[in-house]
Amino acid sequence: MAKITLGCEPVIGSLIPSKKRDYRVTNRLQEGKRPIYAVIFNFIDSRYYNVFATVGGNRVTVYQCLEGGVIAVLQSYIDEDKDESFYTVSWACDADGTPLLVAGGINGIIRVIDAGNEKIHKSFVGHGDSVNEIRTQALRPSLVLSASKDESVRLWNVQTGICILIFAGAGGHRNEVLSVDFHPSDIYRIASCGMDNTVKIWSMKEFWTYVERSFTWEGSPSQFPTKYVQFPVLIASIHTNYVDCNRWLGDFILSKSVDNEFVLWEPKMKEQSPGEGTVDILQKYPVPECDIWFIKLSCDFHYNAAAIGNREGKIFVWELQTSPPSLIARLSHVQSKSPIRQTAMSFDGSTILSCCEDGTIWRWDTVATS
């Protein structure tokens, strides 16, 4: 277990907005009655940067943000199982660049949907319980990670349908895994977190030949020699409760629990003794009324800012590249009262979307300052 280094106290951000940017509500959609758990822009393909997807109930919907606050519905996929409740969705793509949507939820089956024809491209069965988060490797967008209630993380190849690696076992999570993320530049490294209150950092380096093999495998996906990765390179106890979101910020990690803040920290691995090492907590970003679990933050493409909702329907936009942390904006609307499960920031951060427990999607756009 990594130890928290003593010494410098973390820098805590002030909740007085810097007024660097003003946002206003430009649209509000009522998608349905069921909660919307996820919303995500397509950062995989530059042709579709203004396209986003949501999941709620057994439905995956694709929209496009147009000028003047307009949101156009492009497609909708309804799962054959009416009891499915999707919790997560991520954009990926095939070898030929076909945009794919990868969704998972209560059933534990991962649906890979061809966004070109709204049909199921593949279904991945493997997890023994619900899927809480799916993330795509931006450098190799055929690779996705899934975090599950079954206490494991799985690495899949959406092109070939292969489950390549399973991160679980002796050193794995001891409760539901709630969030997972690929390192932005180190292709071997991932981070996961969950209900055992830990963040775990894993390395795929010694298993990378299997990742490469998954692209050229000609047998049945079920015949592939899936490998278990049992030991993380670092286990960090930053939080004292469920950790429901972790994101890499360069070599640092942003993580959040249910204590009205998210935290920026630096993992320091010991190459000789995996699992050990230290963590240095650098900064804390307060988010009032953010004390329920399954609220996820999002960043713009270049990780300049993070947006996060709370249980009262408000959004806090924090600058990520400053110390001390600077609050860019605090967004609230008299009709937005429902818990915001996830936000999505557009490529440049000029649009922020939020998806809510009451089935609404809100769009905020920056106001041009004269």
Q: Which two tokens stand for residue 225?
A: 């020699």
* pLDDT (tens digit per residue) in 166-199: 999 999 999 999 999 999 999 999 999 999 999 9
Task: Give the integer Cα–Cα distance in Å for 266 and 144.
Answer: 24
Task: Give the integer Cα–Cα distance in Å for 353 and 359.
Answer: 13
Confidence of residue 204 (pLDDT cuts 50, 70, 90): very high
Which letter does DSSP use for residue 296 in this model? B
Is 370 a residue whose pLDDT tops 60? no
* pLDDT (tens digit per residue) in 282-295: 999 999 999 999 99
| C-beta of residue 87 within 8 angstroms of C-beta of residue 127 | no
Pairing of strands 305-309, 36-41: unpaired
- What is the structure's pLDDT at 302? 97
Helix (H, G, I), strand (E, B) or coil at 357: coil
Nearest to residue 319, comparing CAs of 14, 5, 84?
14
Instruction: Report the predicted TM-score, pTM, of the whole model to 2 decimal places.
Output: 0.97
Q: How far apart are the first and last CA of the chain?
A: 52
Task: Give the integer Cα–Cα distance in Å for 83 and 178.
Answer: 21
Name every residue whose Cβ is closer than 8 Å to that of residue 13 and which is 6 or more positions away in sequence: 283, 284, 285, 286, 318, 324, 325, 326, 327
- Backbone region of residue 51 per phi and psi (left: phi > 0; alpha: psi in -120 to 50; beta: other values): beta
